[in-house]
Amino acid sequence: MTGVCPNQQIEAMIREGAIVADLPVTHDQIQPASLDLRLGHTAYRVRASFLAGQGRTVSQRLQEFEMHRIDLSKGAVLEKGCVYLVPLLEGLRLPDDMHAVANAKSSTGRLDLLTRTVTDGGVEFDRIPTGYTGPLYAEICPRSFSVLVRPGMQLNQIRFRNGHAVLSDTDLNALHAVAPLVDGPAVIQEGLGFSVDLDLPGTDLVGYRAKPHTGVIDLDLIGHYDASEYWEEVRSTDGQIILDPGAFYILVSREAVHIPPQYAAEMAPYLAMVGEFRVHYAGFFDPGFGHDAAGGAGSRGVLEVRCHEAPFVLEHGQVVGRLVYERMAAAPTNLYGAGIASNYQGQGLKLSKHFKT
């Protein structure tokens, strides 16, 4: 059946051997439309990011780029600004009609922890071709904070697809007419556009900027860290802020987004030429995000923004990204925010779960 595989189909793939693992897959890894991937026991410090390339394996390329190996079994620090490659506990034996796409988990993106999936023979990050059989690796590059990691930690996730499931703009307009996707006018152009909110009600706090020199973050510690030790508050009274080159920001979308149960979505760039910045497309939006039984109140999307070469003025209401919607092959039996623990349902401006609220 064409579409994104729901949780019950992922469970069947595990039983049937299309998803293999060094240790049994746990229930908490299976999301409504994706599978969380776990770090293995060794990290390879490499001198540069790389792809295996056609006809070559990651292990072959590691012989060129490996600097040293790190045992993660008792926990180890991955240092800011360095590149690491970690074999994952999961591997794939995909059917000939199925391909996959991977992405960083929400909490990973909110820490500016660049995490991408690498495969044997791969010519793209995070894209797993139809029928792929082989291991999976996570490339990890901490960009704002050094992090403490251990085997089994889940930094990225994978989504499985049969065929082409992306909704056209015509389909999106029709869906929005019957199940509103945002709490206002919909900007639909190769996906659902969303804008930045720099005029939050009752406050001039509009975001956070990562501090340049901080301590290590243990990714197992939830609600543990004082945000002020890692983040500077970004305030605005005129609906605009100036992004500094090289700086990393947490902002929030003006729109409350709704993902109906029969659909999933992925964050993507809006247009490359709208400014000297990038909204980090760190995650999948699961079926049920922003959804309630009444039809969908919506949840804000958190924006992970990095400025590039030149300072850039970002203004309230500026369109900065888009959501690409896809059909599910079947409605999942678990929905985001309903059948599973969901850290970001109903969110506003919010840092990752590691920080005290």
Beta bridge partners of 277: 307
Average pLDDT on 91-116 reads 94
Q: Do domains 3-162 and 169-327 have the same CATH topology?
A: yes
229: phi then psi, degrees, rounded to nearest 5: -80, -15
Q: Is the pLDDT of residue 335 over 50?
A: yes
| Six token digits for residue 347 | 């969110």
pLDDT digits (tens, 9 = 90+) for 156-215: 999 999 998 899 999 999 999 999 999 888 999 989 998 999 999 999 999 999 999 999
As a whole number of angstroms, the distance between CA 67 and CA 335 comes to: 43
Which superfamily does CATH assign the domain made up of 169-327 to?
Answer: Deoxyuridine triphosphatase (dUTPase) (2.70.40.10)
- Rounded to two decimals, what is the model's pTM? 0.92
**Is 3-162 a domain of CATH 2.70.40.10?**
yes
Question: Any idea what DSSP says for residue 204?
Answer: S
DSSP string, 96-163: TTEEEEEEE-HHHHHTTEEEEEEETT-SSTTEE-TT-EEEEEEEEEESSS-EEE-TT-EEEEEEEEES
Residue 13: in which H helix or E strand, if any?
helix 7-16
Is the pLDDT score of 296 beyond 50? no
pLDDT, residue 194, reads: 87
pLDDT at 341: 45
Domain residue ranges in the chain:
3-162, 169-327
